[in-house]
Chain A
Amino acid sequence: MTGLPALSYNTMVVAVGVASVGCAAGVIGSLCVLRRRALVGDAAAHATLVGVALAFLATGRRDLPVLLAGGFASAVAALGVLVILRRCTRTRDDAATAIVLGVSFGLGITLISGITARGIPGGAGLEQFLLGHTAALTAGDAVLLTLVSAAVVLIVMLTLKEATLVAFDAPFAAATGWPVTLIDYALVTLVAVMVVVGLPAAGAVLVTALVVIPPVAARQWTDRVGTMLVLSGMIGVVSAVIGVSISAVVPRLATGPLVVLAAAMIFGGSFLAAPGRGWWSRSWRQRAVERAWTQGRLLAAAAEASAVRGGCFTRLEVADLVPGDGLRAARQFGAAWQTLVREGAIAAAPAAAEARLACVGAWRLTPMGQAAAAERARRVRCWKAVLESAPQDAKEFLTIDLPAPETLLGNERAAEVA
C-alpha cells in the first residue's frame, strides 16, 4: 500500500477518538430512533454552544474537559426546558423542539461573538465548535472521549432490556410498573452525553447525524434490537475511520462532514440493497406479487374462454377477458402468457380445433393448467366467503401476509364453499 501515506501518530489519535464516539453514538442512537426521539439530540447539540461559551467565560481557559462539561450542562438544561414546554404549554412537540434549538443556538452565537468581539485571549477559536475541529484533538482528549463512550455503551448494555421495552411499548411498560419517565430521562441524558462528546468530532450542527444515520442504516438490515445495536455501532466505527482517513489524505477537508458523508453512503447502500427492507428487495417482491396476480387472472380468463368455446381459445379472446388497459398491463399480460406456456399450463391446440374456431393460433389449457385454474377459482370462492363472514379478520390478514383461506374459514366450511 505505497499509495497511502503512513498514518501519522496524530491521525491515529483522531481516528481512535472519533471511532469510539461513532460507536457509542450509534448504539445510544438506536434506542433513540426506536423510541421515535431522533431529533432530541439535535436540540441538545445546538444548545451545547451556550455551555461551551459560558464555561470558557467562567474559567478563562480552553481545556476540552471543562468546555465539554459546560456543554453537557447546557444540553441537559435545554432538554429540561423542552420537557417543561411539552408538558405545561400548548406548544406542540415539533415547535417546542425548534424553539429550543433556534433560541439556544442564537444565545450561543451571541455569547461567542461577544467573547470574540471583546478580544478575550483564547476565545478566538470557540467558533470551531460549530463545525468540529478534530485536528486539535490531543491524545489526552482522545482517551477522555474513549472512556466516556465506553461508559455509555456499558450503561446501554446493562439497561438494554428496560430500554427496549420502553422503546417498543411504553404504555405496557408503564402498566407493568417500570418507571417509564425515568428511563426516558436516562435515555435523553445519555444522548446529551454522546452529543457533547461528539462535539469535537463533528461540531454542534452535524453531531445529530452520528446519532441518527448509523441506527437508521442498521435498521434496514435487521429486525432484532441486539443485532441493530451492534450493527449501528459498527457502522459508526467504519464511517469514522473512513472519514478520518480521507481527511488525512486530503488535508483541506474537515473530518466531521466527511464522517457524516461516509455514514450517509452506508445508509444509501443499506436503503437500496438491504434484504427484506431495502428498496430493491421491496420492489422485487412487489413485482413478484404482480406477476402471480396476472398469471392467476390469465388462467381464470383462459378457463372462462375455453368453457365458452368448447375447450379452445385464442390469445386475443383471453386478453379481452383480463382487466387492465395500457402498455404496462399489455406487457404484464405478455410476460404471464409466456411463463404459462413455458411452464406447460397452456399449449397449442390440435389443428382440428384451429379449423373449428376458424382462426390461426388456437390454444388450450393442459390438464395441469386446468387444475391450476380450478385451484385458483376455489381460492377466490373461499376468500369471498371469508370477506363476507369476517371482513375484519380478512383485512387484518391481508396487510400482514396472505394466508390460506382455510386458516380463517376452517377446513369443513372451505370444502363446503368450494
Chain B
Amino acid sequence: MSVLSLLTAGEGMHAWAIATAATVAAGCALVGTLLVVRRMSLLGDAISHALLPGIVVAVLAGGRPGGVLVLAGAVAAAMLTVWLTQLFRSAGGLAEDAGAGVAFTTLFALGVVLVTAVAARVDLDPGCVLHGVLELVPFDTIPIAGFEVPRAFLTAAVVLAILVAGAIATWRWQVFTAFDSGAAQAAGVPVAAVTTGLLAATALATVAGFEAVGAILVVAMLVVPAATAELLTRRLHRMVAVAILLGVGASVVGYLAAWWCNTSAAGMIAVVLGIEYAVCVLLSPGDGLIARLFSQAWFRWRVACEDQLAACWRAEEAAAHTGMAPVLRRSMPGGSLACGWLATTGCLTRSRRGWMLTPRGREQANMVVRSHRLWEAWLGRHADVPLDHLHPPAEWIEHHLGTEVRRRIEAEVGLQASDPHGRSIPPEP
C-alpha cells in the first residue's frame, strides 16, 4: 500500500492520527525550547510522570478523559510537583534533581496505586498512560460541523492554540527571563509569574500529549526537538521554528514507520526524534562531531606543516653559523607526508642531501619562527618562568598568533630585542 492510499484509508483514520501527533509535537516543541534553554528539561520529565494521580483523581470525580476536569486535575498535579520540589529545596536543603526525583516518583506511585485500587471503576491503564495508544485516537470522535473529529485531536488543537497565544503574548518576558532572570527581575518583569506560566504551559502540553503518545514519550517530544534545534541554530526564534518542524516531521515519519513495522507509533516517533538528534550531533555544521573531528584533523595537519617549515628554517640558521649545507636531514615523526605536501605546494624542494626551503617557504617559516621567538621574549619578560620552560608554550602558540598580535608584542619587547636564548627574532617579511 502506498503512503497516499494509507492516508486516505478508513475515512482518513491514519491521517487523523498523524495530525494529532503533529499537533501535540508542535505544542511540545514550542514549550520545550524554553525549558531547554532554561535548563529545566528534567522538570518536564518530573511533570509528565506526576500527571497520573491528577488524572486519576479527576476521572474518579467524574471527568471524562480529555475533558476540562481532567485537564485541570493534571495541571494541578503538575503544579503540586513543582511546589513540592521547591519546598524540598528551600526547607529541606535538597538538590533540585533529588527533590524532583522524590516528588515525581511518589506522585506516580500514588497514581498507580489509585488506578489499581479502583481499576474497576475507571477506564485507565497505567501502561497506556505511560506510552499512549496513538492508533486508537481516530476511533473516539465527536461530530463538529458535519465532520467526525477525534477528541484527542480537538484537545491537542485547543491546547496548541492556547500555547501559541500565550507565547505570543509573553514572548519578550519569557526570553528575557530565560537568558538573564536577575536582570529581568531588576527591569520589572514578573519573573515568578513568568516561570509559573511556563510550568503551567508545560503541564498543558503534557496533558494534551499523554493521551496520544503517553506521558514519558511526551518528555521526548518536549526535549529532543528543542535540543536538536539548539545544535543547528543559536537564535531563539529560529530554534523554535526548527524544533516545531523537527517535531512535526518526526510525527509523520514515525507514524508511517510504525505502521510499516507494525509496532507502537508513539514509541517509533520517539525513536525518529532520537535519530534526528543523532544525525545532528554527527553532522551539524560547526558543532557536529564530524565537523569537529575534521577541523581538529585539519589543525593538526597545519601544525605538522608549519613545524616542518620552521625546522628547515632553523637548519638554515644553524648552517649560516657553522658554514655547513642548509638542509634538513631528519624529518620529524609524521613529517614526510607534510614534506611531500609542502613540496607540491612549492614551499620546499628536494635536493640530494635533504629538504630545502624555497623563497616562498622561507617567508612562511619566517613568520612561524618569528611568532615563536617573540612569544618567548614576551614570556621571558613578563612571566616568572625558567629559561628551559619557555619553549613548550611558544611551540604551542606559534600556530595561533596573527600579524597584528605579533606587531603589538614586538612594540612591547622592543624592535631590536632577541629572544631569551640569545637568538635574533626575524623581522616581519
Are the C-beta atoms of A264 and B91 separated by less than 8 Å? no
Are the C-beta atoms of B105 and A94 separated by less than 8 Å? no
Q: Which of B15-23, B33-41, B320-328, B418-426 contacts A (4 or more CB under 8 A)?
A: B33-41
Q: Which of A38-46, A302-310, A396-404 contacts B (4 or more CB under 8 A)?
A: A38-46
A-chain residues with CB within 8 Å of residue B106 when the two chains form the complex: 209, 213, 260-261, 264, 267
- Confirm or deny: A361 has a beta carbon within 8 angstroms of a beta carbon on chain B: no
Are the C-beta atoms of B231 and A90 separated by less than 8 Å? yes
Given contacts A254-B113, A271-B88, contact A95 B227 (CB under 8 A): yes
Given contacts A39-B97, A206-B109, A260-B105, contact A107 B277 (CB under 8 A): no
Q: Could you show 5 A-B contacts with beta carbons less than 8 Å apart?
A: A102-B223, A102-B274, A111-B263, A114-B262, A256-B112
Are the C-beta atoms of A95 and B223 separated by less than 8 Å? yes
CB distance from B126 to the nearest CB of A (A): 6
Given contacts A98-B219, A106-B220, A110-B263, contact A277 B92 (CB under 8 A): yes
Given contacts A89-B287, A257-B112, contact A94 B101 (CB under 8 A): no
- Confirm or deny: B409 has a beta carbon within 8 angstroms of a beta carbon on chain A: no
Known: A94-B40, A102-B273. 16 other contacts (CB 8 A): A89-B289, A91-B227, A91-B231, A95-B39, A98-B42, A98-B220, A99-B227, A103-B270, A105-B220, A106-B217, A127-B127, A205-B49, A205-B130, A252-B119, A257-B108, A271-B92
CA distance A107 to B217 in the complex (A): 10
A242-271: contact bitstring with B at CB < 8 Å (1 yes, 0 no)? 000000001011101110110010010001
Are the C-beta atoms of A46 and B92 separated by less than 8 Å? no
Are the C-beta atoms of A98 and B231 separated by less than 8 Å? no
Are the C-beta atoms of B127 and A130 separated by less than 8 Å? yes
CA distance A205 to B115 in the complex (A): 15
CB distance from B388 to the nearest CB of A (A): 25
CA distance A108 to B108 in the complex (A): 20
Are the C-beta atoms of A208 and B287 separated by less than 8 Å? no
B-chain residues with CB within 8 Å of residue A264 when the two chains form the complex: 102, 105-106, 109
Closest residue of chain B to A46 (Cβ to Cβ) is B216
- Confirm or deny: A282 has a beta carbon within 8 angstroms of a beta carbon on chain B: yes
Which of A109, A254, A256 interacts with B264 by CB under 8 Å?
A109
B-chain residues with CB within 8 Å of residue A90 when the two chains form the complex: 230-231, 287
A-chain residues with CB within 8 Å of residue B231 when the two chains form the complex: 89-91
A202-217: contact bitstring with B at CB < 8 Å (1 yes, 0 no)? 0001101100110010
Are the C-beta atoms of A117 and B263 separated by less than 8 Å? yes
A-chain residues with CB within 8 Å of residue B221 when the two chains form the complex: 102
CA distance A261 to B102 in the complex (A): 10
A102-144: contact bitstring with B at CB < 8 Å (1 yes, 0 no)? 1111111111111001100000000100110000000000000
Are the C-beta atoms of A103 and B273 separated by less than 8 Å? yes
Are the C-beta atoms of B266 and A106 separated by less than 8 Å? yes
Which of A102, A212, A219, A257 interacts with B220 by CB under 8 Å?
A102
- Confirm or deny: A224 has a beta carbon within 8 angstroms of a beta carbon on chain B: no
- Confirm or deny: B258 has a beta carbon within 8 angstroms of a beta carbon on chain A: yes
Closest residue of chain B to A258 (Cβ to Cβ) is B113
- Confirm or deny: B224 has a beta carbon within 8 angstroms of a beta carbon on chain A: yes
- Confirm or deny: A327 has a beta carbon within 8 angstroms of a beta carbon on chain B: no
CA distance A264 to B106 in the complex (A): 6
- Confirm or deny: B261 has a beta carbon within 8 angstroms of a beta carbon on chain A: yes
Closest residue of chain A to B288 (Cβ to Cβ) is A89
- Confirm or deny: A88 has a beta carbon within 8 angstroms of a beta carbon on chain B: yes
A-chain residues with CB within 8 Å of residue B193 when the two chains form the complex: none
Are the C-beta atoms of A95 and B41 separated by less than 8 Å? yes
The 5 closest A-B pairs by CB, nearest first: A106-B270, A102-B220, A103-B274, A109-B267, A110-B267
CA distance A8 to B227 in the complex (A): 51
Closest residue of chain A to B135 (Cβ to Cβ) is A113
B117-158: contact bitstring with A at CB < 8 Å (1 yes, 0 no)? 101000000110011000000000000000000000000000
- Confirm or deny: A220 has a beta carbon within 8 angstroms of a beta carbon on chain B: yes
Given contacts A117-B262, A118-B262, contact A208 B101 (CB under 8 A): yes
Interface residues of B in 80-123 (CB under 8 A from A): 88, 91-95, 97-102, 105-106, 108-110, 112-113, 116-117, 119
- Confirm or deny: B271 has a beta carbon within 8 angstroms of a beta carbon on chain A: yes
- Confirm or deny: B204 has a beta carbon within 8 angstroms of a beta carbon on chain A: no
Q: Kindly name the residue among A92, A95, A253, A282 whose own CB sees the greatest number of chain B CB atoms within 10 A.
A: A95
Are the C-beta atoms of B102 and A216 separated by less than 8 Å? yes
Interface residues of A in 43-100 (CB under 8 A from B): 46, 85, 88-92, 94-99
A-chain residues with CB within 8 Å of residue B94 when the two chains form the complex: 216, 219
- Confirm or deny: B207 has a beta carbon within 8 angstroms of a beta carbon on chain A: no
CA distance A180 to B289 in the complex (A): 25
- Confirm or deny: A178 has a beta carbon within 8 angstroms of a beta carbon on chain B: no
CA distance A261 to B114 in the complex (A): 12
A294-326: contact bitstring with B at CB < 8 Å (1 yes, 0 no)? 000000000000000000000000000000000
- Confirm or deny: A101 has a beta carbon within 8 angstroms of a beta carbon on chain B: yes
Q: Kindly name the residue among B40, B94, B102 whose own CB sees the greatest number of chain A CB atoms within 10 A.
A: B102
Are the C-beta atoms of A106 and B223 separated by less than 8 Å? no
Closest residue of chain A to B214 (Cβ to Cβ) is A109
B-chain residues with CB within 8 Å of residue A105 when the two chains form the complex: 131, 216-217, 219-220, 267, 270
CA distance A250 to B117 in the complex (A): 9
Are the C-beta atoms of A253 and B219 separated by less than 8 Å? no
Which of A33, A88, A101, A110 interacts with B258 by CB under 8 Å?
A110
CA distance A83 to B260 in the complex (A): 33
CA distance A113 to B292 in the complex (A): 38
CA distance A97 to B219 in the complex (A): 11
CA distance A85 to B222 in the complex (A): 18
B-chain residues with CB within 8 Å of residue A208 when the two chains form the complex: 101, 105
Q: Kindly name the residue among A98, A213, A219 whose own CB sees the greatest number of chain B CB atoms within 10 A.
A: A98
- Confirm or deny: B410 has a beta carbon within 8 angstroms of a beta carbon on chain A: no
- Confirm or deny: A395 has a beta carbon within 8 angstroms of a beta carbon on chain B: no
CA distance A85 to B289 in the complex (A): 10
A-chain residues with CB within 8 Å of residue B105 when the two chains form the complex: 206, 208-209, 212-213, 260, 264
Given contacts A88-B289, A106-B271, A114-B262, contact A212 B217 (CB under 8 A): no
CA distance A397 to B110 in the complex (A): 44
Which of B92, B126, B287 interacts with A279 by CB under 8 Å?
B92
Are the C-beta atoms of A220 and B109 separated by less than 8 Å? no
- Confirm or deny: A36 has a beta carbon within 8 angstroms of a beta carbon on chain B: yes
B-chain residues with CB within 8 Å of residue A212 when the two chains form the complex: 98, 101-102, 105
Are the C-beta atoms of A38 and B98 separated by less than 8 Å? yes
CB distance from B132 to the nearest CB of A (A): 9
B-chain residues with CB within 8 Å of residue A97 when the two chains form the complex: 41-42, 45
- Confirm or deny: B342 has a beta carbon within 8 angstroms of a beta carbon on chain A: no
Interface residues of B in 280-314 (CB under 8 A from A): 281, 287, 289, 292
